[in-house]
Amino acid sequence: MAKSTGGFKESVANFHRISQEVAARRFAPIYLLMGEEGYFIDRLCDQLASGILNEAEKAFNQIVVYGKDSECGDIINFCKQMPMMGNYQVIIVKEAQQLRQIDKLSLYAQAPSASTILVLCYKEKSLDKRTQLYKLIAQKGVVFESLRPRDYEIGPWLSDFIRSKGCTIDAKALGMITDHLGSDIAKISNELNKLLTFLPAGTKVITADHVEQNIGISKDFNNFELTKAISAKDTGKALLIADHFARNPKDNPLVVTLSMLFTHFQRIFMLNYQRWLAKNRGVSMPPDPELARMLKLPSPFFLNEYKQAATLYPNRKVFQILGLLREYDLRSKGMNNGSTEDGELLRELLLKIFLI
């Protein structure tokens, strides 16, 4: 059956549901694992590859092919074979998005074999839902669409992921990881698994020190701390961070910092606007949990910072700062910039922000 795809959160829920079904040995004849976020596709594929057949059965009954090197006719022939010394055979097609004329598999999907489990790993995009193949798999098998998270969805997922490992994470450590690793789920998962491996026995809360020691993200010099310094108009700390970024440009690319600053001031603008509505239109100020959702914060913990920043940066200043960010974004890309390096551009930008 098809799984609805109402966003990243629902995509994660569907991933866990299908994983539980596979663990309970409730298999579908065909799995279409598709979408831009490869992490969940790989996880489900690995579970199906390791969990259906035992090691002895895999030698005879498990076939892995790649779309670029395969033909639909050959895959259909594999699927129609009977398993040897077992109840199932498993056919895994990796990089199925490169399979030529993939819709020809609809000839098999009309009446899939009860003893074959076909797994199609269709990565980087989704199969056209108007095709006959998609409709048949949705009817007779399982469709999973793996959606990429938006930036604000990473924090909640990361917290849930860590809880599933028996730990929690404090707000600063969470901010450091989401700031530094972005929305690359596979990279975040790999780094967290390494971190969890090296944590002292009995550790229940991951802190900024743990992240710094095991992932290599500075707890004092990062975009999370930069936006915090800007929120408090702490010029000295902001420039210290900018100097650190200038000395370590590969770890702190200006394009990422500018994106973070743009999001930061967008949130300040939204909070100021809500305050204006409450003051001038008699609209009730949303409660803190609702405000945190509106601002798309990774955690409600950060709301106090934005309340402080909104007081120091009224929207007349925010408009000017957003204009500066657009200007420096263009300069960072070589327009009207001359030979000014990224570190100096960031220092210039920060000084102008503080002088507004």
235-264 pLDDT, tens digit each: 999 999 999 999 988 888 999 999 999 999
- What is the pLDDT at residue 285? 92
pLDDT, one tens digit per residue, over 27-74 is: 999 999 999 999 999 999 999 999 999 999 999 999 999 999 999 999
DSSP code of residue 145: E
- Check pLDDT > 80 for residue 167: yes
Virtual torsion, Cα 43, 44, 49, 54, nearest 10 deg: 100
Predicted confidence band at 86 (pLDDT cuts at 50, 70, 90)?
A: confident
Written as one string, the DSSP assignment of 61-73 is: HEEEEEGGG--HH
- Check pLDDT > 90 for residue 336: no
Q: For residues 208 and 171, what is the distance between their CA atoms, to the nearest angstrom?
A: 9
Low-confidence winner among 8-12, 83-87, 176-180 (lowest mean pLDDT): 176-180
Span 273-277, mean pLDDT? 95
Span 160-167, mean pLDDT? 92
Higher pLDDT pick, 340 / 40: 40
- What is the pLDDT at residue 291? 92
SS3 call for 320: helix
For 187-214, letters b (16+ CB in 10 Å) and e give ebbebbeebbeebeeeeeebebebbbeb
Average pLDDT, the chain: 92
- What is the pLDDT at residue 3? 47
Q: What are the backbone angles phi and psi of residue 246, rounded to the nearest 5°?
A: -65, -35
Domains of the chain: 8-146 (3.40.50.300), 151-215 (1.10.8.60), 223-355 (1.20.272.10)
SS3 call for 88: coil
SS3 call for 190: helix
- Check pLDDT > 50 for residue 221: yes
- Check pLDDT > 90 for residue 220: no
Neighbours of 114 (CB within 10 A): 9
pLDDT, one tens digit per residue, over 95-142 is: 999 999 999 999 999 999 999 999 999 999 999 999 999 999 999 999
Q: In this structure, are residues 46 and 38 in contact, taking their beta carbons and an 8 Å threshold?
A: no
- What is the pLDDT at residue 135? 97
Cross-strand pairs, 62:
90
**Which residues, including other chains, have CB under 8 Å from residue 37's CB and lie 6 or more apart?**
8, 11, 146, 147, 148, 149, 185
Written as one string, the DSSP assignment of 198-260 is: HSPTT--EE-HHHHHHHH---SSSSHHHHHHHHHTT-HHHHHHHHHHHHH-TTTS-HHHHHHH
Q: In this structure, are residues 90 and 53 in contact, taking their beta carbons and an 8 Å threshold?
A: yes
Q: Which of 20, 15, 22, 63 is nearest to 39 (CA)?
A: 15
- Check pLDDT > 50 for residue 4: no
